[in-house]
Amino acid sequence: MKLSGEAVLLRMFFGEADRYKRQPLYQAIVEKAREMHMAGATVLRGPLSFGRSSRLHTAKILRLSEDLPVVIEIVDTAEKVDAFLPELEEMMGSGLVTMEKVQVIQYGGRN
Single pTM value for the model: 0.83
pLDDT value of position 26? 97
Q: What is the distance between the alpha carbons of residues 76 and 79, in angstroms, rounded to a whole number?
A: 8
Taking the C-alpha atoms of residue 71 and residue 110, their distance in angstroms, rounded to an integer, is 28
Q: How far apart are CA 65 and CA 104, in angstroms?
A: 35
CA atoms of 19 and 29, how far apart (whole Å): 10
| Domain that includes residue 61, residue range | 10-92
Task: Answer yes or no: is 4 within a domain.
Answer: no
pLDDT number for residue 106: 77
Is 93 in a helix, a strand, or coil?
coil
In a domain, 3, yes or no: no
Q: Would residue 66 count as lying in a domain?
A: yes
Which range (18-22, 74-78, 106-110) has the least confidence? Answer: 106-110
Q: What is the CATH number of the domain that holds 47?
A: 3.30.70.120
Q: Does position 110 have pLDDT exceeding 90, yes or no?
A: no
- Is 104 inside any structural domain? no
Average the pLDDT over each of 12-21, 64-73, 96-105 and give the range with the smallest value: 64-73
Is 99 within a domain?
no
- Note the pLDDT of residue 108: 72
Rounded CA-CA distance 45/10 in Å is 16
**Average pLDDT over the chain, rounded to an integer:** 86
- Residue 2 confidence (pLDDT) above 90: no
Predicted confidence at residue 80, as pLDDT, reads 97
In a domain, 52, yes or no: yes
**How many structural domains is the chain composed of?**
1
